[in-house]
Chains A and B, each alone.
Chain A
């Protein structure tokens, strides 16, 4: 006689619900999730209860194929749990263990139920293993996708944060560029600079590239576009921080920025002050002059 593992499993889950849930909760409590303090015990228990109920429901509507339609609600619950774990900074192991910790209690219960019938036990264990493994993998997939989302968002935030426009003086702005200037970031850079030029009614914008490791034709083109756009908004650009090895490389590449450049941001600032009719003088010098 063929034994239906799904049926054995379903019956065990119904008849032994209390014992299985308790053993699962104990296992979860001992797990590292709680010890990390990222989640409260009550929350973990509620999640376990909901998942358990949905697993019973799915088994009752037929079969152990966790990818099937009647598992959709359970998969969605697990996805929600995984997503929140990813955001709360759980490790992949902790996240997957939520489901895998349910295996042992179920195996135990199956053993108790079918102590006399080895065929039933084997069928039940096989069914439980299959469905829980699939659900565990599902939690991992969602977890990883969520981590990637988080990382992607952080990347965007860094892109915005790492391109601040600094007001050095009335009408003088500085844009210190740091890192790789890919097209996505350059868009943000350019927008920020042009907006700041309008807001500050800036006359001069200093683009400092000390922190840009490589100036290739793409970076050069981005710089040229930025300079041209700034000019249209009525601001002149000075490029500073072109290191000697970069200057040489640019010559070999054949790119010309056609813009005033200075070795350092300080030199560029001094030039900007001069161009806007200002001068920096040492206070002491004036004092000595007065004494004479």
Chain B
């Protein structure tokens, strides 16, 4: 598997979340994702970007176009140096929120993606990777 392009976007404000969505849309179009798949990855990215901002205290996302054989995919890695998540299973549970959200963002992002990987260390930060393949 090879990475053909990489770019990093900062997530520091609500406007940045909008920018992340716009950039993900452009990349999803680039690799030829259909309208439904575009919408899925954009929505998942929106969830993770907002978590990075709201709970992680800001961070960044690395967007990569990856090639595996003849398949192309979009891989997004969100990273922050916030408080981290002590109980990942609980955080992934639908309707669980420590704030005032619906508690559907993490589970939703997983269901909207082909690949989902989360790692978090309390006091260090959180990293969430998602990918959507054409």
Contact = CB atoms under 8 A, between A and B. Distances in A.
A183 B18 CA distance: 12
A271 B82 CA distance: 48
B102 A180 contact: no
B107 interface: yes
A254 B112 CA distance: 10
Nearest to B38: A245
Given A217-B108, A220-B102, A245-B35, A253 B50 contact: no
Contacts of B104: 217, 253-255
A245 B39 contact: yes
B47 A252 contact: no
B105 interface: yes
A109 interface: no
Among B21, B35, B46: residue with most chain A CB under 10 A: B46
Interface string A199-221: 00000000000000111111011
Interface in B40-66: 40, 42-43, 46-47, 50
Given A182-B14, A217-B102, A217-B104, A248 B36 contact: yes
B101 interface: yes
A218 B54 CA distance: 12
B111 interface: yes
B115 interface: no
Given A218-B50, A254-B108, A249 B43 contact: yes
B94 interface: yes
A131 interface: no
A86 B108 CA distance: 45
Interface in A216-266: 216-218, 220-221, 244-246, 248-249, 252-255
Contacts of B36: 244-245, 248-249
Given A221-B102, A245-B36, A252-B108, A216 B50 contact: yes
Choose among A215, A220, A249 the residue with the greatest number of B CB atoms under 10 Å from its CB.
A249
Contact of A216 (B38, B46, B94): B46
A249 B102 contact: no
A253 B102 CA distance: 10
Contacts of A252: 40, 108, 111-112
Given A214-B46, A252-B112, A254-B107, A246 B102 contact: no
Interface string A161-205: 000000000000000000010110000000000000000000000
A84 B21 CA distance: 36
A213 B22 CA distance: 10
B18 to A, nearest CB: 6
Contacts of A217: 47, 101-102, 104-105, 108
Given A214-B46, A216-B46, A245-B36, A253 B21 contact: no
Given A183-B14, A220-B102, A245-B36, A214 B42 contact: yes
B89 to A, nearest CB: 17
Residue from A183, A221, A254 having most chain B Cβ neighbours under 10 A: A254
Given A216-B105, A217-B101, A255-B102, 13 more contacts: A217-B102, A218-B101, A220-B102, A245-B36, A246-B39, A248-B36, A249-B36, A249-B39, A252-B108, A252-B111, A253-B43, A253-B47, A254-B94
The 9 closest A-B pairs by CB, nearest first: A253-B108, A245-B39, A216-B46, A252-B111, A245-B36, A217-B102, A249-B43, A254-B104, A252-B112
Interface of B: 14, 18, 21, 35-36, 38-40, 42-43, 46-47, 50, 94, 101-102, 104-105, 107-108, 111-112
24 contacts: A180-B18, A214-B21, A214-B39, A214-B42, A214-B46, A216-B46, A216-B105, A216-B108, A217-B101, A217-B104, A218-B50, A244-B36, A245-B39, A248-B36, A249-B39, A249-B43, A249-B112, A252-B111, A253-B43, A253-B108, A253-B111, A254-B94, A255-B102, A255-B108
